């Protein structure tokens, strides 16, 4: 069994003490001490999220604003860094995108929200990955023109409430969220504190991601947990939930060599950007959009019960055609599930593949994503 | 019946020259929910410390080592279809395999109850 790595340089979220006091197993993740699971365990936490509502501490993720005096200036500055259409976002609307590099690889993936708050017309709210955030901020700041500024938000935590009961639970406290459309957001005042609430998530379920002042987050977390429909969920179940939902995880399905098109994310590049380009790596990304990528991320279902893990070799007719980027056990599927980056000619659902697991051949099939249907409220 | 332990968190319950082997309660707690187990074939022999079985949780795969040299005389056929037994009752219904000891002197390399408790404290 693995030894516990040294913890002396780890950072903590405002909820770290709460997790430890409630029996969570804390592990180092992206430089933070984070709960991988609570005493209930990953399968129970995963299932509870799909059936009721799971509460996740994702305060390690980076929150920041990019702002200028007007939306067009801010949007154009962001469009120089990402392939999404930022300009046509409506106030409060959220869009998923990627920071790309000059080679068309991916530096990080992120959420971009156009502010709806009066007086903040030129503001975009960003949420980036914990493991990438320091570099992201450097990269963004270095590429902004003098009219546009980056403001890193250090005084806010981030929690996610995910699952079919999420809207009823949060709606009992904050009725305004009941009418919030998927991928839109609203700012509210709750018990004297400003909360930024997004109807979005990383589980395939309906739910919310809520930015909360550090000083209020423990009280807010406990308030949500006082509802019997809510339980705390660790990073272990967060990973199995996103894997079943077919959602990319940076460092796995995305990295500096994998383009958004190869990652199966061409839906996140809107029409105007496909026509105009003007983002880093556009030459490669537009070519892949036109001709199709030579390799692509797809869903892979191993036969039987044995999970196949990240980096497992994927074979077709005795030839290496790619590797798994994520792999594990899907509690809702009731069996192993995986994502792999393979030669695009073999990525058609139904294609038989072979995985090499511990030196043995394990039969597998390409399947369409997601493994578990999304239940977003549109 | 005497119980011995390894530093890799296997236990061995000795009855005559037959050792019932599995992973400890501490080990199953560290692994989390077990979703897959691969057991050796009956009749196969292992050297002490050799990889004899595989146990996989939601998060990770781990090897289970033969705590003593010997021949596999029985495996727990209930485990592959119900690997959760390893979490529910690791030192009872969640046993992995029975080994006929080849060399009793190997037992001196193992920990006793107090030694294992000290290791996992």
Distance from the A342 Cα atom to the nearest Cα atom in chain B, whole angstroms: 23
Beta strands in chain A (DSSP E): 25-29, 32-37, 53-57, 62-67, 94-100, 106-114, 123-128, 149-152, 156-162, 185-190, 193-198, 207-213, 230-232, 295-302, 313-316, 319-330, 335-343, 352-357, 360-367
> Same structural domain for residues A239 and A300?
no
A199 found inside a domain? yes
ipTM above 0.85, yes or no: yes
Looking at the complex, report in whole angstroms how far the Cα of residue B106 sits from the nearest Cα belonging to chain A: 22
Query: What is the DSSP secondary-structure string of B16-40?
Result: TTEEEEEE-HHHHHHH-SEEEEE-P
How distant is the Cα of B35 from the closest Cα of chain A, in angstroms? 7
Asked if residue B14 lies in contact with residue B59, where contact means CB atoms within 8 angstroms, the answer is no
User: Does the distance separating the beta carbons of A305 and B36 come in below 8 Å?
Assistant: yes
pLDDT the model gives residue A313: 98
pLDDT higher than threshold 70 for residue A2: no
- pLDDT confidence band for A8 (50 / 70 / 90): low
* Residues spanned by the domain of A193: 16-58+155-244
Mean pLDDT of A300-307: 96
Please, are residues A86 and A95 in contact by the beta-carbon 8 Å criterion?
yes
Give the model confidence (pLDDT) of A315-355 as tens digits: 999 999 999 999 999 999 999 999 999 999 999 999 999 99
pLDDT band, very low/low/confident/very high, at A9 (cuts 50, 70, 90) = confident
Q: What percent of chain A has pLDDT above 90?
A: 97
Work out the minimum CA distance from B58 to partner chain A, whole angstroms: 5
Q: Which of A37, A239, A305 sits opposite B32 (nearest CB)?
A: A37
Asked if the structure places residue A20 within a domain, the reply is yes
Residue A4 has pLDDT above 80, yes or no: no
Q: Do B59 and A305 touch (CB under 8 A)?
A: no
Residue A377 is predicted with a pLDDT of: 87
Residue B1: what pLDDT? 81
Quick check: B56 and A358 CB within 8 A?
no
Is A377 domain-assigned?
Answer: no
CATH number at A355 reads: 2.40.30.110
How far from each other are the two terminal CA atoms of chain A, in whole angstroms? 44
Question: Both A233 and A357 in a single domain?
Answer: no
Q: Is residue A192 very low, low, confident or very high in pLDDT (cuts 50, 70, 90)?
A: very high
pLDDT at B62: 93
Q: What is the pLDDT of residue B109?
A: 94
Q: Contact, A320 vs A340, CB < 8 A?
A: no
Tell me if A1 and B56 make a contact (CB, 8 A cut-off). no
Q: Do A328 and B58 touch (CB under 8 A)?
A: yes
Nearest residue of chain A to residue B63 (CA atoms): A1
User: A162 with A207: CB under 8 angstroms?
Assistant: yes
Residue ranges and CATH numbers for the domains of chain B are: 2-120 (2.40.50.100)
Show which of A186, A214, A244 is a domain's final residue: A244
Tens of pLDDT, residue by residue over A60-113, are 999 999 999 999 999 999 999 999 999 999 999 999 999 999 999 999 999 999
Residue A378 lies in a domain: no
A328 touches chain B (CB under 8 A): yes
| Residue A375 forms part of a structural domain | no
Q: Residue A219: its pLDDT value, please?
A: 98
- Average pLDDT over chain B, rounded to whole? 95
Last residue of a domain, one of A211, A244, A277: A244
Interchain pair B36, A309: CB under 8 A: no
The structure tokens listed for A338 are 């995986």
CATH number at residue A222: 3.30.1360.120
pLDDT tens, residue by residue, B15-63: 999 999 999 999 999 999 999 999 999 999 999 999 999 999 998 889 9
In a domain, A100, yes or no: no
Q: Are A328 and B32 a contacting pair at CB < 8 A?
A: no
How many structural domains comprise chain A? 2
Residue A254 has pLDDT above 60, yes or no: yes
Tens of pLDDT, residue by residue over B64-120, are 999 999 999 999 999 999 999 999 999 999 999 999 999 999 999 999 999 999 999
pLDDT of residue B37: 97
């Amino acid at each position: 069994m693995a030894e516990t790595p040294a913890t002396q340089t780890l950072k903590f979220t405002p909820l770290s003490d709460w997790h430890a006091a409630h029996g969570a197993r804390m592990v180092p993740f992206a430089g933070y001490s984070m709960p991988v699971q609570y005493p209930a365990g990953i399968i129970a936490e995963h299932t509870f999220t799909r059936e009721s509502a799971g509460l996740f501490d994702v305060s390690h993720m980076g929150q920041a604003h990019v702002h200028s005096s007007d939306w067009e200036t801010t949007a154009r500055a962001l469009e120089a860094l990402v392939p999404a259409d930022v300009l046509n976002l409506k106030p409060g609307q959220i869009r998923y995108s990627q920071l790309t590099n000059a080679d068309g690889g991916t530096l990080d993936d992120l959420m971009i929200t156009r502010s709806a708050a009066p007086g903040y017309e030129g503001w975009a709210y960003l949420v980036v990955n914990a493991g990438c955030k320091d570099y992201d901020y450097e990269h963004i700041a270095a590429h902004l023109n003098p009219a546009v500024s980056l403001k890193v938000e250090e005084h806010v935590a981030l929690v996610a409430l995910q699952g079919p009961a999420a809207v009823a639970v949060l709606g009992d406290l904050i009725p305004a969220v009941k009418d919030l459309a998927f991928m839109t957001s609203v700012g509210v005042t709750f018990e004297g504190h400003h909360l930024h609430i997004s109807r979005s998530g990383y589980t395939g379920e309906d739910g919310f991601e809520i930015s909360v002042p550090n000083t209020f987050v423990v009280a807010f977390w406990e308030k949500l947990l006082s509802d019997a429909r809510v339980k705390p969920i660790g990073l272990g179940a967060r990973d199995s939930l996103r894997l079943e939902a077919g959602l990319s995880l940076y460092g796995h399905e995305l990295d500096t060599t994998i383009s958004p098109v190869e990652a199966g994310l061409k839906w996140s590049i809107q029409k105007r950007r496909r026509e105009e380009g003007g983002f880093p790596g556009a030459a490669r990304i537009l070519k892949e959009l036109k001709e199709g990528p030579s390799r692509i991320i797809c869903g892979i279902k191993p036969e039987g019960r044995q999970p196949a893990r990240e980096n497992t070799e994927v074979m077709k007719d005795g030839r290496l055609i790619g590797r798994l980027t994520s792999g594990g056990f899907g509690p809702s599927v009731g069996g192993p599930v995986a994502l792999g980056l393979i030669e695009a000619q073999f990525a058609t659902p139904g294609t038989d593949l072979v995985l090499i697991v511990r030196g043995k051949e394990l039969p597998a099939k390409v399947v369409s994503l997601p493994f578990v249907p999304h239940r977003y409220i549109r | 019946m005497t119980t011995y332990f390894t530093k890799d968190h296997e236990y061995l319950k000795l009855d005559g020259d037959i050792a019932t082997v599995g992973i400890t309660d501490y080990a199953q707690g560290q692994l989390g929910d077990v979703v897959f187990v691969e057991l050796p074939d009956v009749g196969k022999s292992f050297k002490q410390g050799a990889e004899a079985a595989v146990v996989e949780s939601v998060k990770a795969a781990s090897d289970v080592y033969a705590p003593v040299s010997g021949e596999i005389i029985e495996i727990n056929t209930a485990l592959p279809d119900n690997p959760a037994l390893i979490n529910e009752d690791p030192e009872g219904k969640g046993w992995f395999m029975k080994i006929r000891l080849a060399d009793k002197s190997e037992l001196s390399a193992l920990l006793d109850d107090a030694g294992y408790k000290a290791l996992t404290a």
